Amino acid sequence: MSNILLVFLGILIVFAALKIIFAFFTGLSTLKTGGAMFTTTHRSKIREILEAVPMHPGQVLYDLGCGDGRLLIAAAKRYKVRAIGLEINPWPYLISRIRVGLQQRSVTIRFQDFWKTDLREADIVFCYLFPDVMDRLRDKLSKELKSGAKVISCNFEIPGWTPEKILTAPHPIHNDPIFVYSNV
CATH number at residue 51: 3.40.50.150
Tally of domains within the chain: 1
Strand locations in the chain (E): 60-64, 82-87, 107-111, 124-127, 150-154, 165-168, 177-182
Residue 69 belongs to a domain: yes
Alpha carbon 87 to chain centroid, angstroms: 8
Distance of alpha carbon 3 from alpha carbon 89, whole angstroms: 37
Residue 95 belongs to a domain: yes
State the amino acid at position 109 in one-letter form. Answer: I
Residue 27 belongs to a domain: no
* Residue 65 Ramachandran class (φ > 0 left, ψ -120 to 50 alpha, else beta): left
**What is the model's pLDDT at position 133?**
92
**What is the model's pLDDT at position 151?**
98
State the amino acid at position 36 in one-letter form. Answer: A
Q: pLDDT (tens digit, 9 = 90+) per residue, 89-123?
A: 988 999 999 999 866 678 999 999 999 999 999 99
Dihedral angle over CA of 87, 183, 166, 39, nearest 10: 10
Q: pLDDT (tens digit, 9 = 90+) per residue, 126-181?
A: 999 989 999 999 999 999 999 999 999 999 999 999 999 999 998 889 889 999 99
**What is the model's pLDDT at position 5?**
75
Residue 1 has pLDDT above 90, yes or no: no
Domain range for residue 144?
Answer: 43-182
State mean pLDDT over 54-83: 96
State mean pLDDT over 31-49: 78
55 confidence band (pLDDT: 50, 70, 90): very high
Residue 144 belongs to a domain: yes
Kindly state the percentage of the chain with pLDDT values over 90: 66
Biggest alpha carbon–alpha carbon distance for the chain? 69
What is this structure's pTM? 0.83
Residue 83 belongs to a domain: yes
Residue 18 belongs to a domain: no
26 confidence band (pLDDT: 50, 70, 90): low
Residue 74 belongs to a domain: yes
9 confidence band (pLDDT: 50, 70, 90): confident
39 confidence band (pLDDT: 50, 70, 90): confident
**What is the model's pLDDT at position 13?**
81
